[in-house]
């Protein structure tokens, strides 16, 4: 069954698979069963490119000791810093909609931030209110907006 990904007030419909910024994989959505919501897999790194979170098919396999797991369930993962900033969140809103937010390190000096309301690219540009049909493919977040990956 087709699902929609909600990221920063951007709607990506028709079952997107891999979500990338340039050539960097941010996370992947997997459909195991056509009647179930998608599962998410992601490796989150800090600025020094050290893995701080590992999510494998909606199960948190690793979380750095400096972070706080507020929720750790298949339908809602919420990992925060001590100061309350969300580092990663995935939540099944209904069986056809998954919400993802967090901070994704791109390299030693840059990060891509996804909040509930917008995506902030590493160079400061905001993306919000985009609607795109993924055609069951991969998605690329670029300076020009959200696109289907070629």
Sequence-ordered strand ranges (E) for 35-117:
39-45, 51-56, 59-63, 68-73, 76-80, 86-94, 97-107, 110-114
The answer to whether the CB of 2 falls within 8 A of the CB of 14 is: yes
Number of domains in the chain: 1
The answer to whether the CB of 80 falls within 8 A of the CB of 68 is: yes
pLDDT tens per residue, range 50-98:
999 999 999 999 999 999 999 999 999 999 999 999 999 999 999 899 9
What is the DSSP-derived secondary structure letter of residue 116? S
Q: Whole domain around residue 114: which residue ranges? A: 4-148
pTM over 0.85: yes
């Amino acid at each position: 069954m087709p699902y929609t990904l909600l990221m920063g007030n951007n709607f990506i419909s028709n079952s997107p698979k891999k979500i990338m910024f340039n050539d960097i994989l941010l996370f992947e959505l997997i459909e195991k069963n056509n009647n179930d919501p998608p599962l998410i897999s992601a490796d989150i790194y800090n600025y020094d490119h050290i893995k701080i979170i590992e999510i494998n098919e909606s199960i948190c396999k690793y979380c750095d000791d400096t972070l706080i797991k507020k929720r750790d369930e298949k339908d809602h993962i919420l990992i925060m810093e001590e100061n309350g900033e969300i580092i990663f969140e995935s939540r099944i809103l209904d069986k056809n909609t998954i919400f993802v937010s967090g901070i994704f390190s791109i390299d030693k000096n840059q990060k891509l931030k996804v909040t509930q309301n917008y995506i902030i690219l590493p160079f400061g540009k905001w993306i919000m209110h985009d609607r795109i049909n993924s055609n069951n493919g991969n998605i690329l977040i670029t300076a020009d907006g959200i696109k289907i990956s070629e």
